[in-house]
């Protein structure tokens, strides 16, 4: 491999590389469930013993394990993040969420003000989390970067903010006692309903903006990623998910009805009949989400990554819904049967399926890539915000 320390760095442009044949950079995941189980068990024990304070250190160990077992063209990814810096970001998140929770108990107005403050800082924390994760990820000795701007982060969050504010504001202003007494429709209820409706209607648009922001900011060796993803494609995907959800929804209703009829036919105590109804509801939900969630996840991964490319790289994702659905059902069943002990094995198998469904077409040889001047992103202030915000980085 070319010695990157001997090459002038700092140029933002894509490096000039010798012409080479296009080839595929295969992705393989070599992790094993038994190996990861030991890491998971120790992490879980230490999290319980420290009342959750070990969580950032456990997260760093988990990321390092999955990165070390993710091979791209035979070379593993590496994670260089400092767990103590992640711990400081974790404490900041606890303070922010604790302040929001305390404000909610003081008064509705305080809860709304606290939520507005969270809205004001969250895009910056989200951007910082992406910068930290990418800035501390390397492949073949090349550090990655995230170059999304702060302004673009706020613009990506904008469509979801007004409905969220209406939702939280309406919920905060509702009178619980009046609701229990059947107080009927109030302005607070109206604001809440409008916020919830707008949140659902704007969700595909918001998700498209989130994914655009993420996939337009990835950078390695002077190459900038770009994603071709329209809002119309995201709305079409949402309609497909709704269509796919109808048959399992009907099946869920039939399961619940069957168990309800069975409970009625039983000549036993009321608690037993209610237990049968509850079991039917649980089974119905499992069937529903085991079909709908894998379908949405598979189609979203394929849509986003198939539209992502850089100057010399193009991604192809061929994650199959049936494979993900079968794996999801298997993982859920075995996790339930083993009372949660199968969870690390489920995480490994899911990572293997999703990662190995992605291929990278490269029009240049990575041997000739050179590093940019960036040596990593050390600020972990918002690192914890990325997971809490519910935005998958897609790595």
**pLDDT for 128-186, tens place per residue?**
999 999 999 999 989 999 999 999 999 999 888 888 888 877 777 766 655 555 556 67
**Residue 170 within any structural domain of the chain:** yes
The DSSP code for 13 is S
Rounded CA separation 140/369 (Å): 10
**Residue 133 within any structural domain of the chain:** yes
Per-residue pLDDT averaged across 277-302, rounded? Answer: 85
Q: How far is CA 200 from the centre of its chain?
A: 18
- What is the pLDDT confidence band of residue 391, given thresholds at 50, 70 and 90? very low
Rounded CA separation 158/152 (Å): 10
Q: Is 121 helix (H, G, I), strand (E, B) or coil?
A: helix
Give the pLDDT score at 267.
63
Using the predicted structure, report yes or no on whether residue 383 has a pLDDT greater than 50. yes
Angle among Cα 203, 390, 63 to the nearest 5 degrees reads 145
Give the pLDDT score at 6.
35
Give the pLDDT score at 393.
31
Give the pLDDT score at 271.
67
Contact present, 134 and 127 (Cβ < 8 Å): no
**Residue 172 within any structural domain of the chain:** yes
Using the predicted structure, report yes or no on whether residue 111 has a pLDDT greater than 90. no
Using the predicted structure, report yes or no on whether residue 194 has a pLDDT greater than 80. yes
Using the predicted structure, report yes or no on whether residue 314 has a pLDDT greater than 80. yes
- 336 vs 29, 77, 255, 339, CA distance in Å? 25, 32, 19, 5
pLDDT digits (tens, 9 = 90+) for 56-107: 999 999 999 999 999 999 999 999 999 998 998 888 888 888 888 888 778 7
Task: Please name the residue ranges forming H helices in 50-107.
Answer: 55-68, 83-106
| Count of domains forming the chain | 1
Q: Is 6 helix (H, G, I), strand (E, B) or coil?
A: helix
Rounded CA separation 389/198 (Å): 19
Which range among 7-16, 98-107, 196-205 has the greatest average pLDDT?
196-205
**Residue 139 within any structural domain of the chain:** yes
Please give the mean pLDDT across all residues of the chain. 83
Lowest mean pLDDT across 113-122, 150-159, 256-265, 288-297: 256-265
Using the predicted structure, report yes or no on whether residue 254 has a pLDDT greater than 60. yes
Element containing residue 313 per DSSP (H, E): strand 313-317
**Residue 11 within any structural domain of the chain:** no
Using the predicted structure, report yes or no on whether residue 219 has a pLDDT greater than 90. yes
* Nearest residue to 82 (alpha-carbon basis) of 381, 389, 370, 378: 378
Q: In the chain, what is the greatest distance between 2 CA atoms, to the nearest angstrom?
A: 83
Give the pLDDT score at 276.
65
Per-residue pLDDT averaged across 296-302, rounded? Answer: 96
Rounded CA separation 125/118 (Å): 10
Please measure the distance between the N-terminal and C-terminal CA atoms of the chain and give it in whole angstroms.
25
Give the pLDDT score at 337.
93
Contact present, 46 and 358 (Cβ < 8 Å): no
Give the domain extent around 166. 70-227+373-385
Give the pLDDT score at 222.
83
Rounded CA separation 216/150 (Å): 13
pLDDT digits (tens, 9 = 90+) for 16-46: 444 556 789 999 999 999 999 999 999 999 9
Whole-model pTM? 0.82
Under 8 Å CB-to-CB from 322, ≥6 apart: which residues? none
Lowest mean pLDDT across 67-76, 279-288, 382-391: 382-391
Using the predicted structure, report yes or no on whether residue 8 has a pLDDT greater than 50. no
Contact present, 372 and 11 (Cβ < 8 Å): yes
Give the pLDDT score at 10.
38
Of residues 252 and 30, the one with the higher pLDDT is 30
**Residue 250 within any structural domain of the chain:** no
Q: Is 319 helix (H, G, I), strand (E, B) or coil?
A: coil
Give the pLDDT score at 11.
37
Using the predicted structure, report yes or no on whether residue 1 has a pLDDT greater than 50. no
**Exposed e or buried b for every residue in 222-245, given b needs 16+ CB within 10 A?**
bbbbbbebeeeebbebbeebeebb
**Residue 321 within any structural domain of the chain:** no
**Residue 276 within any structural domain of the chain:** no
Lowest mean pLDDT across 176-180, 266-270, 296-300, 319-323: 176-180
């Amino acid at each position: 491999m070319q010695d990157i320390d001997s090459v002038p760095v700092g140029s933002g442009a894509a490096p000039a590389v010798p012409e080479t044949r296009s080839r595929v950079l295969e992705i393989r995941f070599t992790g094993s469930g038994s190996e990861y189980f030991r890491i998971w068990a120790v992490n879980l024990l230490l999290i319980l013993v420290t009342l959750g304070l070990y969580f950032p250190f456990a997260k760093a160990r988990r990321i390092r394990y999955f990165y070390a077992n993710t091979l791209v063209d035979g070379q593993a990814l590496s994670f260089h993040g400092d767990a103590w810096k992640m711990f400081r970001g974790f404490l900041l998140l606890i303070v922010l969420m604790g302040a929001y929770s305390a404000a909610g108990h003081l008064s509705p107005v305080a809860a709304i003000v606290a939520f507005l403050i969270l809205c004001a800082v969250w895009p910056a924390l989200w951007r910082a989390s992406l910068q930290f994760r990418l800035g501390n990820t390397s492949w073949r000795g090349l550090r990655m970067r995230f170059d999304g701007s702060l302004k673009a982060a706020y613009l990506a969050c904008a469509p979801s903010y007004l409905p969220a504010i209406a939702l939280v504001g309406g919920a905060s202003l509702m009178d619980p006692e009046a609701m229990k007494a059947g107080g009927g429709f109030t302005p607070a209820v109206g604001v809440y309903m409008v916020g919830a409706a707008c949140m659902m209607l704007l969700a595909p648009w918001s998700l498209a903006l989130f994914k655009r922001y993420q996939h337009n900011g990835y950078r390695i060796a002077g190459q900038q990623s770009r994603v071709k993803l329209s809002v119309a494609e995201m709305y079409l995907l949402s309609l497909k998910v709704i269509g796919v959800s109808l048959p399992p929804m009907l099946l869920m209703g039939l399961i619940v009805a069957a168990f309800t009829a069975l409970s009625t036919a039983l000549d036993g105590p009321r608690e037993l009949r209610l237990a049968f109804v509850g079991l039917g509801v649980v089974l119905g939900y499992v069937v529903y989400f085991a079909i709908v969630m894998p379908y949405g996840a598979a189609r979203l991964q394929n849509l986003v990554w198939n539209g992502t490319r850089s100057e010399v790289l193009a991604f192809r994702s061929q994650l199959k819904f049936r494979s993900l659905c079968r794996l999801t059902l298997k993982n859920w069943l075995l996790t339930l049967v083993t009372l949660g002990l199968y969870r690390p094995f489920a995480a490994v198998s899911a990572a293997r399926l999703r990662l190995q469904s992605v291929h990278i077409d490269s029009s240049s040889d990575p041997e000739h890539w050179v590093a940019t001047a960036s040596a990593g992103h050390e600020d972990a202030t918002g690192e914890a915000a990325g997971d809490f915000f519910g935005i998958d980085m897609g790595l």
